[in-house]
């Protein structure tokens, strides 16, 4: 991990979505973004990371192979070391049952993936401002 002010882990199995998220987040020079293509890769990385190298924030897709977003949420929220990391679900669905389940499993926010890059960029700018500049978390005193 580089010496960035904020570190975001983004988990999404869609190559195009990862490129769009990375392109939008590159505008924020104080963010280092690390991508994972599934929950299994994310959990493997987190299990070997020292506490002072954990991400500031996790952007999480739900529908992924091997270990899906729900399973990631369950794992994070049952870990004393990882449960305080804010997890923002960024999903292609707006289904009420999906939204409810994500919150029940401990998501801090649920956002639907926008239809255009311009909308995605705006959403990620708001996310950056709120979660990394406004809210104070244990990793962001």
Residue 97 lies in a domain: yes
Chain segment 96-117, per-residue pLDDT in tens = 999 999 999 999 999 999 888 8
Q: Is residue 140 part of a domain?
A: no
CA dihedral 54, 60, 65, 70 (to 10 degrees): 100
Q: What is the CATH number of the domain that holds 73?
A: 3.40.50.2300
> Is 1 inside a domain boundary?
no
Within a domain: 86: yes
pLDDT band at residue 2 under the 50/70/90 scheme: very low
Q: How many domains does the chain have?
A: 1
| Chain mean position to CA 100 | 18
Q: DSSP per residue over 96-125, as a string?
A: HHHHHHHHHTT-SEEEEPPSSHHHHHHHHH
Q: Is residue 78 part of a domain?
A: yes
What's the pTM? 0.89
Question: Which pLDDT belongs to residue 77?
Answer: 96
* pLDDT digits 0-9 by tens, 52-84: 789 999 999 998 888 999 999 999 999 999 999
Within a domain: residue 24? yes
The residue segments making up the domain with residue 112 are 6-134
Q: Residue 140 — very low, low, confident or very high, per pLDDT cuts 50/70/90? A: very low
């Amino acid at each position: 991990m580089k010496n960035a002010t904020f570190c975001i882990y983004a988990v999404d199995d869609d190559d195009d979505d990862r490129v769009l998220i990375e392109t939008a987040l590159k505008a924020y020079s104080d963010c280092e973004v690390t991508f994972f293509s599934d929950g299994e890769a994310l959990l493997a990385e987190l299990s070997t990371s020292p506490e002072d190298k954990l991400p500031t924030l996790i952007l999480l897709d739900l529908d992924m192979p091997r270990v899906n977003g729900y399973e990631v949420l369950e794992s994070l929220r049952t870990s004393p070391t990882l449960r305080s990391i804010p997890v923002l679900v960024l999903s292609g669905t707006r289904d009420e049952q999906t939204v409810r389940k994500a919150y029940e499993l401990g998501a801090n926010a649920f956002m639907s993936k926008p239809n255009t890059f311009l909308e995605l960029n705006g959403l990620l700018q708001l996310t950056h401002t709120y979660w990394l500049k406004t809210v104070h978390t244990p990793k962001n005193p």
